[in-house]
Amino acid sequence: MSRLYTNNEVKLAGKILTEPQKYSLDELDFAQTVLTYWRTIHASPINTFQATLRDKINRLDYYDALIAQRLKRAVSIVAKLDRFPNMKLSTMQDIAGLRAIVKNVDQVRTLEKNYRESNFKHLLKDDKDYILDPAPSGYRGIHLIYQYVNEKNHESNGLRVELQIRTKLQHTWATAVETMGTFLKYSLKSSQGPVNWLDYFSLVSAGFAILEKCPTSENYKDLAPKDIFQKIVDESKKLNVSEKLRAFTVAADHIFQSQANSKYNLITLNLEKRVVNVKSYSARQLRRANIDYTNIEKEINKGAPIQAVLVSTGSIDSLRKAYPSYFLDTQEFLSKLNMIYHRLQKIK
């Protein structure tokens, strides 16, 4: 099946969505329809990549690894296009996102090497090593950007898929950033928001890097581990981090187990009620899932205090571990802060 829209129409849709005040309601409806379609046709590539990733994880015997995939939220797509004016919707690399969360840095490197050295028909177009060179925000992990190659699938051939490989500790940091950003109403993960919180999470990332015996970002390379740990303890108290994060709880009784045959899960977080709901869909219900996803995002655009994401992973327990920010779960992050406190006491 050929694509319903040309690349130029997809580019135009992205432009309309970033400058809605300049366009009519019909044009906005057109742009939303194109975005929904464009996001949906990324499902085939991401499913192919997930099957490959699961096979690699099984062969490496990473029995406790987490694998998850998601189609990027419309609000995140538009925000990214807005932040990077030269970026086009038709060439955005992370609409289809796949994530592997493994035990430690050695496992990250082994999995990365496996991908780089395997006979893979899909094309590696770009890569980022945020472990060797952490982002200024403190983000750490490996990103591999592939171009999907399948000449029999005309709709999806040539689309991009982003594979992220993280340790559990790196994942713990990233999801705490997202959770705090949710309640501050800023995209901290995109380096937007109050400077004190941006600086705090950058500092904590340096501490976590030390725990994993990895390089810290440039801002902290001249500080001794003891000094970094002390600053983390001091800033955590100053910002009341533990109290704030413990206050972010959800009504767990509103979370129901996904169906046994579910392939996709639509997670919706109501920020006012602090309630999470998970709606499940079979593999054949992808289009229905995307329509529901789009309808919820329309409510978000009207100001509804909710967040939503369409993902694919296993059980509810796996969902909570792969996407803890949607369940406002920061217990693991707080336990690591406590570990840093005790490590500091030992150094002293």
CATH number, domain of 182, equals: 3.30.460.10
Q: Are 319 and 172 within one domain?
A: no
- pLDDT (0 to 100) of residue 171: 93
| Residue 15 forms part of a structural domain | no
Mean pLDDT of 273-287: 83
How confident is the model at residue 270, as a pLDDT? Answer: 83
Share of the chain above pLDDT 70, in %: 92
Question: Domains in the chain: how many in total?
Answer: 2
Q: Same domain, yes or no, for 314 and 224?
A: no
Same domain, 341 and 322: no
pTM score, two decimals? Answer: 0.84
Q: How confident is residue 180, by pLDDT bands cut at 50, 70 and 90?
A: confident
* Domain interval for residue 258: 252-327
Give residue 252's pLDDT.
45
Distance, in Å, from the CA atom of 64 to the CA atom of 102, rounded to the nearest integer, reads 7
Does 215 lie in the same domain as 194? yes
Quote the mean pLDDT of the chain.
89
Distance from C-alpha of 172 to C-alpha of 109, rounded to nearest angstrom: 18
Average pLDDT over residues 254-259: 50
- The span from the CA of 32 to the CA of 11, in Å, is 12
Q: Report whether pLDDT(42) > 70.
A: yes
Q: Is residue 19 part of a domain?
A: no
d(CA 128, CA 164): 10
**Rounded mean pLDDT of 106-133?**
95
Same domain, 277 and 170: no
Q: Packing angle between helix 331-347 and helix 168-184, nearest 10 degrees? A: 120
Check whether residue 138 and residue 265 sit in a common domain.
no
pLDDT of 245 higher than 60: yes
Q: Is the pLDDT of residue 326 over 90?
A: no
Specify whether 158 is located in the same domain as 81: yes
Same domain, 217 and 288: no
- 122-151 pLDDT tens trace: 999 999 999 999 998 999 999 999 999 999
Same domain flag for 257 and 336: no
Q: Which residue has the higher pLDDT, 93 or 348?
A: 93
Task: Say yes or no: 78 and 175 in one domain.
Answer: yes
pLDDT at 253: 44
Higher-pLDDT residue of 136, 317: 136
How many alpha carbons fall within 13 Å on the CB side of residue 342?
7
pLDDT at residue 278, rounded to an integer: 83
Q: Which of 101-105, 175-179, 262-266, 287-291 has the lowest average pLDDT?
A: 262-266
One domain, residues 218 and 273: no
Question: By mean pLDDT, which of 36-50, 63-77, 321-335 is the weakest?
Answer: 321-335
Q: Provide the token pair at 201.
A: 């999470």
Is pLDDT of 215 > 90?
Answer: yes
Q: Which residues pair with 165 in a beta bridge?
A: 100, 142
> For 130, phi and psi rounded to 5 degrees?
-85, 5
Q: What is the pLDDT of residue 259?
A: 54
pLDDT at 304 over 60: yes
What pLDDT is attached to residue 319?
A: 64
The better pLDDT of the pair 294, 169 is held by: 169
Is residue 9 domain-resident?
A: no
- CB-side exposure of 327: number of CA atoms within 13 Å? 20
CA Rg, the chain, in Å? 20
Q: Is 294 helix (H, G, I), strand (E, B) or coil?
A: helix
